[in-house]
Amino acid sequence: MTADDLIPAALLDEKKSLLPDPSPVGRRGFLAGASLATGYALAAGPVQAQTAIRTDTQGLADGMVDVRTADGRTMPAYYARPAQGSKFATVIVVQEILGVHEYIKDTCRRLAKIGYLAVAPELYFRQGNPAAAPDIPTIQRDIVARVGDAQVMSDIDATVAWAGGNVGRGETARLGITGFCWGGRIVWLYAAHNRNLRAGVAWYGVLTGPTNEFRTRHPLDVVANIDAPILGLYGAADQGIPNETVERMRTALRDAGKRSEIVLYPDMPHAFHADYRPSYREAAARDGWRRLEVWFSRNLV
């Protein structure tokens, strides 16, 4: 990692009180234990209880809600926000391939603990329930392959509209988005779709690839339309996202004069932030989360 990739020490000091402790039990109420398997997708495999983080709901309001989509359907979503107050900056949390399971819900709670309304919509709800699928190839074949980008953009728009309502208490003029794996790619696409977005953080999302009727474009194809500053967090040892495509995206953003940045962590695998999986790498995950906090603080707060 180069010096250009490091957050200034002053900013880290400023945010220090917001960061979780590295131990399984942190000062924000993080808990880890054998019971953590509850709520995780079956295809995730055995949960790594020694590293999996669970954020308590003290001081929060959270739960499942119904979001009305453009086609009149009811989409489930999980939200978390501070229990007191209103007009919170809003962050949409986009699921990894495994759907809105415990890890994604916990990410919402982590964001709520630092003052955001975080909402994770069930973006596969029309195609099936990934939590019940036996393995990732089954999810890819039977669910994800049938989820169209246009549908996802519309469903996120509906989620933003819910967040701005009286129940959501969100201030969508200060709108952010973050996503992991499958959701990392969606972050870039949504930034091109919604020109009112204020900031995004994409965790190891695919940047280019084949197209079809469901996936007509990829992040590298929409750089010109990305106005919001997006922070991309990638692993140099990711077997599914070649470093060459990460560098192409970095170059395209720079040549287009965009305010986005990309960090490529040496030797880090895919899903290095997924604390419940063997791919978890604590140092990179914590550094990425620090960067996310600073990024949203600069652009949303």
Which residues are designated catalytic?
A: 181, 238, 270
DSSP single-letter state for residue 203: E
Q: Which amino acid is at 285?
A: A
CB-CB neighbours of 90 under 10 Å: 29
| 235: β partners | 265
- d(C-alpha 111, C-alpha 125), whole Å: 23
∠ CA 243-275-125, rounded to 5°: 85
Q: Decide: helix, strand or coil at residue 187.
A: helix
206-231: string of b/e by CB count within 10 Å (b at 16+)? bbbeeeeeebeebbbbbbeebbbbbb
Taking the alpha carbons at both ends of the chain, their separation in whole angstroms is 28
Contact 260, 229 (CB under 8 A): yes
Cα dihedral across residues 52, 183, 299, 112: positive or negative: negative
CA-based nearest residue to 139, from 149, 151, 127? 127
Cα dihedral across residues 276, 280, 283, 288: positive or negative: negative
CA-based nearest residue to 88, from 300, 231, 295? 300
Q: Which residues contact 22 (CB under 8 A, 6 or more apart)?
A: 282, 286
